[in-house]
Amino acid sequence: MIIDKQTIHKVADLARIAVKEEEIDALIPDMNKILTFMEKLNELDTKGVEPLVYMNAEENVWREDEVKQEISVADGLKNSALHNEAFFLVPKIIEK
């Protein structure tokens, strides 16, 4: 497949990006190089190759979800600018 100006405009439209007319001449050879590389990858024999989901075979080690009181409410609030006895006070950002 050869990339031309029409293809650049179509891809830009599908991607919802603005491409200036003077940028198109620089994009055509770059996109053609990418497609040439992808065609080379399609020539590889991938029979027997498992699909890669993760980069390594390690499995995540989960821990139990335990509720702990790490710091007190007073310690958590002592460095805040505005607070009452139990909560941070922040400016209202949602209007009705």
The domain locations on the chain are 5-43
- In 3D space, the residue among 93, 90, 72, 94 whose CA is nearest the CA of residue 81 turns out to be 90
| Residue pLDDT, tens place only, 41-86 | 889 898 988 888 878 878 788 888 888 878 888 888 988 889 998 8
Instruction: Kindly indicate the confidence band of residue 36, based on its pLDDT and cuts at 50, 70 and 90.
Output: very high
The answer to whether residue 29 scores a pLDDT higher than 80 is yes
Q: Is residue 15 packed enough to be buried (19+ CB in 10 Å), middle (13-18) or exposed (0-12)?
A: exposed
Which pLDDT value is given to residue 24?
92
Residues contacting residue 54 through CB under 8 Å, at least 6 positions apart: none
Which pLDDT value is given to residue 92?
86
| Residue pLDDT, tens place only, 7-22 | 999 999 999 999 999 9
Least confident of 28-37, 52-61, 84-93: 52-61
- The helix or strand, by DSSP H or E, that contains position 60, with its residue range, turns out to be none
